[in-house]
Chain A
Amino acid sequence: MPYSAEVSRSNPSCILFLIDQSGSMEDPFGGSGGRRKADSLADAINRLLQNLAIKCAKSEGVRDYFHVGVVGYAAGVGPALSGSLAGRDLAPISEIANQPARVEERLKKVEDGAGGLVEQSVKFPVWLDPVAKGGTPMVQALGYATQVLQGWIANHPDSFPPVVINITDGESTDGDPETAASGLRDLSTSDGGVLLFNLHLSSREGQPIEFPSEVGTLPDAFATTLYQMSSPLPDYMVQMAQGEGYAVSDESRGFVFNADLVSVIRFLDIGTRPANLR
C-alpha cells in the first residue's frame, strides 16, 4: 500500500518548500485587509518550519525524521535559508530547529483553564524575512526541486515520498508550470510518488478554500493552474483530514487558497499523535 512507509531516523522523509519571493508579493493579500503577500508568505513558511520542528521534538532534542529544504524563486532560484544553513538545499530538521535566524518573543492568547483567555509570552523562531523583488520563475523552481529530490531519492529509495509545498501568488512568469509539476510528481520512492501541495496566496478577496475536489469552486485561472498541479491527497491523509473535520473526499487535492497548510504537517505520520492534541 503506498504512503505507508514508516518515517524514522533511520528511514527519514523529506520536505521541500518552494517560496515565491517575486515583486508581485508586494501586493496586498486578499484575506488580511491590506497586509502584503510577502508578509503572509514569511509567516506561513516560519509557521510551517516551527510546526515541523515541534512535531519532531522530544525531551532530548529534535529527532531527524525529516530532511528539510527551502528554495526561493524570484530574480534567481536557489536555497533561501540564511546563516549557517545558507546555500544548503537540504538539512536535517534538527539543524533547522537549532539555527533559526532569530527567536522573537511574541504574545499568544491561551486558555486559562477557567473558560477565559490570558496572554502568554511565547518564543517565535524566524528563519525567513519577507522578500519581494523580481519575476516568478516557477517552472525553473519546480525543475530545481526535481533535481534536488532526484538526488535525495537515490539515497533514500524506500522512504515515505518527499513532500513539496509550493507557496505562491500563482503568477508564473517563465511559462506554464504544469509540465514541470508533472515531472516533479513523477519522481517516486518504492512507497509512492512525490506529493506536490500548493498554497495560493492571492490578492483576491474571498473565502479561504481548503483541499478542494473540483475546479468549479476556484476563483481564477491561477488558482485553477495550481489546483491542477497539486497531488491528490493520499487515502490516509483523507481519513486524517476527515477526522479533523475537513470536508474532503477521495478526489481532494493538496491545494489551499488564502488558507494555511499547517494541517499537512499534522498529517505526516511519525507515530501516535493524540486525536485530542491540536
Chain B
Amino acid sequence: MIVWSRTFRAVKGGYRQDEYEDAARPHGDACRAGKRLRYAVADGATETSFSGSWADLLAKGFAQGRTRSITRWLEVARQSWQAQVAGLVLPWYAQAKAEEGAFAAFIGLELQESGDWHAMAAGDCCLFHYRHGELQASFPIAMSSEFNSRPTLIGSRAQGNLRDDAILHWSSGSWRPGDRFLLSSDAFAHWVLCSHERGEMPLDMLQEALFETAGFEHWVERLRAQGLQRNDDVTLLDLRVWPAGATPGGLPTLRELAHSI
C-alpha cells in the first residue's frame, strides 16, 4: 500500500504562527509505503494552556504507531505532557491553568493493506472519505449543526476527566485504489459539511484553491472574510491511497495528484 499525503495549515486570523495549537502527522508532503500506515490531526483547545504541545504529543504518538494499545498511547502522551509542565516556574494563573490540564480534539486514521481503514476520534476533528469525488463517510460528525464550542475532548490529566472510552469514538470501512481521505480540525470540517449541505462540491473547491499560487492559507482567509469559515486554526491532511502493486513509476506525481480529481 502506498499513501500520498499533503498537510496544510492556516493559523487563526489575528494570531501569531507560534500560537498555532493544532498538530498533524506527517508534516508537509509525504509518500509512504507500508502494510499499516497511520495519520492524525489534533486540535488543542483555546481555553486550556499548553494545548498545542498536548495536541502534538497525541498526533505524534498515534502516528508513530509503536503500540496498538490506546491506553498505553494516552498514558505515554500524558506522562510526556506532565513532565514538560512539571518543571516550569509559573505565575499563579498559569499554574492554576496547567493544573486543569490541556485538552485536544483528535482524529486518527489507520490504513491497512488488506483494504480496511479504522478511525478513532474525540471531539470535533473529522474524517471525510471520498471515492471518485463522492463522499462515502463523514466521521464522527455527519451534520454541521452538531458542531459547538463545547466538545468533549481528551485531557492531558486523567484526574477529573471522563473515562477515555467514553470520549473516544470508532469507525471503520474499506478503501479502493485512488480513494481520498481528508482529516481536519473543526473549522474546516464544519465548512466541508456546510458546503455539502448547500449542495456544493467542497472537494472541487479545495482542488481549485490548491491550483492557486496564493495557496491554502490565502483561500482560508478568503472563506473567513466571506463569513463561510469560522476564525480558528485550520489543519488539513489530504491523503490518497494506492495498492502495493502500484509501482512508483505508475503512480501520479504529487503535482499530477494536485491537478487530478
Contacts and interface: CB of A to CB of B under 8 A. Distances in A.
Given A59-B49, A123-B92, A275 B151 contact: yes
Interface stretch (A3-11, A22-30, A200-208): A3-11
Given A6-B231, A55-B47, A59-B94, A274 B159 contact: no
Query: Interface of chain A, helix or strand or loop or mixed?
Result: mixed
B86 interface: no
A57 B162 contact: no
A125 interface: yes
A126 to B, nearest CB: 11
Interface in B9-67: 14, 43, 45-50
A126 B148 CA distance: 34
Nearest to B50: A59
A276 B153 contact: yes
Interface stretch (A168-176, A219-227, A264-272): A264-272
A271 B49 CA distance: 12
Interface string A1-45: 000001011100000000000000000000000000000000000
A62 B150 CA distance: 21
B47 A272 contact: yes
A154 interface: no
A160 B43 CA distance: 25
A243 B150 contact: yes
Interface residues of A, number: 35
A85 interface: no
Q: Is the contact region of chain B dominated by helix, strand, or loop, or is it mixed? A: loop
Nearest to A6: B231
Contact of B49 (A6, A58, A275, A276): A58
A57 B45 contact: no
B152 A57 contact: no
B167 interface: yes
A98 interface: yes
Nearest to A269: B149
A103 B91 CA distance: 10
A53 interface: yes
B116 to A, nearest CB: 31
Those 5 A-B pairs whose CB atoms lie nearest each other, nearest first: A271-B46, A123-B92, A274-B103, A273-B47, A57-B93
Interface of A: 6, 8-10, 50, 53-55, 57-59, 61-62, 97-98, 103, 110-111, 113, 122-123, 125, 239-240, 243, 269-278
